[in-house]
Amino acid sequence: MSIQSFIPPQRTLMGPGPSDVNPRILSALARPTVGHLDPAFTGMMDEVKSLLQYAFQTENAFTIAVSAPGSAGMEACFVNLLTPEDTVVVCRNGVFGARMIENVQRVGAKLIIVDSPWGRAVDPQQLEDTLKQNPEANFVAFVHAETSTGALSDAKTLCEIARAHDCLTIVDAVTSLGGVELKVDDWGIDAIYSGSQKCLSCVPGLSPVSFSERATDVIKNRKTPVQSWFLDQSLVMGYWSGEGKRSYHHTAPVNSLYALHEALVILQQEGLEQSWARHKAQHQKLAGGLQKLGLEFIVPAAERLPQLNSVYIPKGVDDAAVRNYLLNEYNLEIGAGLGDFAGSAWRIGLMGYAARSENVALCLSALEDALGRFST
Amino acid sequence: MSIQSFIPPQRTLMGPGPSDVNPRILSALARPTVGHLDPAFTGMMDEVKSLLQYAFQTENAFTIAVSAPGSAGMEACFVNLLTPEDTVVVCRNGVFGARMIENVQRVGAKLIIVDSPWGRAVDPQQLEDTLKQNPEANFVAFVHAETSTGALSDAKTLCEIARAHDCLTIVDAVTSLGGVELKVDDWGIDAIYSGSQKCLSCVPGLSPVSFSERATDVIKNRKTPVQSWFLDQSLVMGYWSGEGKRSYHHTAPVNSLYALHEALVILQQEGLEQSWARHKAQHQKLAGGLQKLGLEFIVPAAERLPQLNSVYIPKGVDDAAVRNYLLNEYNLEIGAGLGDFAGSAWRIGLMGYAARSENVALCLSALEDALGRFST
């Protein structure tokens, strides 16, 4: 056996994530590792908390990064908040709503599903009707930005409805954080999780989360232990809390946190509103170009995510041949369809550092070339 | 708010982990991110599997890296293998045996504890006696290298005893992998987990795991779902499996896996036996020097981990003052005591890239200086 060092190709990442990583973030990632209890490092962790509060637009004290990918952040929200005594309404309009359901089932809580069509936003009226019919429901969960379809749901309205029915909210913001308007405190979100590798343009592997005071109280007042030791946030907070002595829980992924810190510094330097505006502007450029190429969007314009553009694959076009050609000829990655859209859609990401004119230009030209070659 | 980029100090890491990271690994970490389904990347994942098989000395097909730190690897082993119907004997001789107990309790399996003194190896006779008295036990779990005390247990003998009583074994090799002899197949270990940030000298955040065919069968034949969706290895294997189409489970921590790949290439280039010998040789140098400084080892010589040297803090010496001085004056991190040894011991790591003559020399000279300053 003799395996050599791995030198990856230089790709342009315009799939559903990971997105193009800003070179500043890769530099930060490679800085010298320090101990996870080094005062220099724990000081940086406090900054990560502040920067995440800014990104989430929240003053929640319990705002940290879970030391694992977004699906662990999702699970952290569900297993810490829920017990089998709870009733959860999950709004499902794609793969990630379905994953929420899996999480509720593995906790053993009672489950009510509100289904909306794939490629559409969650319907607030349906949620309202469901909550009226099910007064025992005490949690509402939904995906803000469905990465599997490119649909943006109206988180503000959904949270208002949930609150009016005394439900706490659990919100998936994996693809939305940094890319579209998101205001945790203004909207009254109780638990939210995201991912490092989408609009923050950081490397994959971390999941920013934030819990409101109401949610934190639920966790503190649990009578049964959280089923996951690793994701037990009452233990994790003993390490992340800046007050007093930090207790050891697990070894933090030191270098990945350097990278997240840098990603959040970049976001702060650009400004959140400016980042949202940039995603929108680049999306408009891309959408115009895609339409000229004859590609049709799955999601109606008003419910479209700027950072994830899902289009139908035209009839007679070979899905895999196009994507392989883009990858091999242009080093350009676009995303395949997922779930209901496997084989019938492409997902073109404009996330974070990828939401730039040069990426849009490359994507449109390369796609035009590929469509010309692989259409029958 | 204006937070700047974080530039960490350059430390020498001789605590209980993270250990000094080889600069080659930091370079690998910062290579350009590719998609987690990119053929270039999935090809590299296959190499990571082969390299881990070498490091673990196993042919287990189910040998991968969990996308989270070692405590998630621990949890992955327990929650995938156990149900409330099982009876688990956990050998506890430090913090990490206690953590295993937490995991068993959160699964709800029946628990039998074999306690050995902190700072000593697990006593095989005690395990044998316990298994004789509890024929219903079907799992035995123990820590090969107790990071909290520096004790090395005789994994080969403990596994023989477990097998003789028809028990599957779950072994914590977080600190042992790459640093001391470890032979998963020869010793008949059924489930094992480790960490990237110890004797592999990689950045923290990944947990190599391996499951024997017997263990894999247990997972395949489960009648109830694993309580963790993120750690459900039957789903994770759909992504790591090289055969056929890979299914999406979560976004792999791409750059961290570059780093692990490089760490394992380095281990392969050095050779496993050579790495074990290097740890032993550097330990002997360090141990000699520590004894000259009047420091007494906690663990008897025959049960001592070369890669983690626990010594009592001499009477009249200010623990925190010494460690802070080493950190601030020499940029040298050594570990504080943990659990029963908090405040009464230091843990000096010689893990992976840190097991070098220059580190031993620095540590001994710096400690001599510090002891002179902060003894009363």
Q: B335-346 pLDDT, tens per residue?
A: 999 988 999 999
CB within 8 Å: A230 and B71: yes
Measure B272 CA to nearest chain A CA, in Å.
13
What value does the mean pLDDT take over residues A99-116? Answer: 98
B7 has pLDDT over 90: yes
Cβ-Cβ contacts under 8 Å between A and B: the total is 265
Kindly identify which residue of chain B lies nearest to residue A46, measuring between CA atoms: B3
My answer on whether omega of the bond before A84 falls inside 30° of 0, hence cis, is no
Cα separation of A93 and A142, whole Å?
9
CB within 8 Å: B33 and A226: no
| CA A59 to centroid of chain Cα atoms | 20
What end-to-end distance do the CA atoms of chain B give, in Å?
Answer: 45
Nearest to B147 by CA among B177, B124, B105: B177
Q: A291-348 pLDDT, tens per residue?
A: 999 999 999 999 999 999 999 999 999 999 999 999 999 999 999 999 889 999 999 9
Find the helix or strand (DSSP H, E) in which B181 lies.
Answer: none
Nearest to A100 by CA among A53, A179, A153, A21: A153
Q: A33-62 pLDDT, tens per residue?
A: 999 999 999 999 999 999 999 999 999 999
Which domains are seen in chain B, by residue range? 12-17+272-373 (3.90.1150.10), 23-268 (3.40.640.10)
Q: B116-172 pLDDT, tens per residue?
A: 999 999 999 999 999 999 999 999 999 999 999 999 999 999 999 999 999 999 999
CA dist A348 → A69, A146, A322, A323 (Å): 21, 13, 13, 11
Chain B residues with CB under 8 Å of A31 CB are 6-8, 26
Contact A361, A324 (CB under 8 A): no
- Of A239-248, B89-98, B360-369, the poorest mean pLDDT is in A239-248
Q: Where are the alpha helices (DSSP H) in chain B?
A: 23-29, 39-56, 70-81, 95-107, 124-133, 155-164, 184-187, 213-220, 233-240, 254-270, 272-292, 319-330, 357-373
* pLDDT of amino acid A243: 65
CA dist A312 → A288, A336, B279, B317 (Å): 15, 11, 57, 71
Chain B residues with CB under 8 Å of A228 CB are 75, 79, 106, 227-228, 231
CB within 8 Å: B250 and A24: no
Q: What value of ipTM does the predicted structure carry?
A: 0.97
Chain A residues with CB under 8 Å of B20 CB are 33
Could you write out the DSSP letters of every residue in B304-319? Answer: B-TTEEEEEPPTTB-H
Kindly identify which residue of chain A lies nearest to residue B268, measuring between CA atoms: A2
A175 has pLDDT over 90: yes
CA atoms within 13 A on the CB side of B344: 9
Q: Give SS3 for A350.
A: coil
What value does the mean pLDDT take over residues A239-251? Answer: 83
